[in-house]
Amino acid sequence: MRPRSTKSNPPPGTSCAQARESARRVLAEQDAPPPLVADVLTVVSELVSNAVRHAGGVTGFQVTARADQVVVEVSDRSALLPHLRRHSPHTPGGFGWRVVKTLAPSTFVRSHRSGKTVIAALPTRTGRPPAP
């Protein structure tokens, strides 16, 4: 990737499709390799869909690409923090946070007065990070 920073910051209420398209534009400007694009789009999809499904919707969204990492930030209205769920064959879902933490191991959550922001940093190096 090129060593410059590019940001995209679509409006609050962003859908998964809008967020993915915004991320694609940022990554195309940086000539990101296809495996990195796929990983970033997966993280974007998981974070945005979780904000919509569990936290009252997206209140902020931003993607920033740098030479060493791509940072995805998704804000929502809920103060509840994401967590790993135990696998249960009787309960569908529950894999999203595990996927995000695997692809972006330095993910963290910043709580604020109006909810929270999940910040996921994906390294741009070749290869995937080890599973948590």
pTM: 0.83
Six-digit token string for 9 = 């910051």
What residues pair up with 70 in beta bridges, in sequence order? 65, 122
DSSP state letters, the chain: --SS-EEE-PPTT--HHHHHHHHHHHHHHTT--HHHHHHHHHHHHHHHHHHHHHSSSEEEEEEEE-SSEEEEEEEES--PPP-PPPP-TTS----HHHHHHHHSTT-EEEEETTEEEEEEEEE-SSSPPPP-
> Is the separation of the CB atoms in 32 and 1 below 8 Å?
yes
Average pLDDT for 4-9: 58
The answer, yes or no, to whether residue 105 has pLDDT greater than 80, is yes
List b or e across 66-94, with b for residues whose CB sees 16 or more CB atoms inside 10 angstroms: beebbbbbbbbebeeebeeeeeeeeeeee
Q: Is the pLDDT of residue 6 over 60?
A: no
**In the chain, what are the domains?**
6-123 (3.30.565.10)
Query: Which residues, including other chains, have CB under 8 Å from residue 37's CB and lie 6 or more apart?
Result: 24, 27
- Per-residue pLDDT at 132: 45
Q: What is the mean pLDDT of residues 120-131?
A: 70
CA–CA gap between residue 70 and residue 104 (Å, rounded): 9
pLDDT in tens, 63-82: 999 889 999 999 999 888 77
pLDDT tens-digit series, residues 9-28:
666 677 899 999 999 999 99
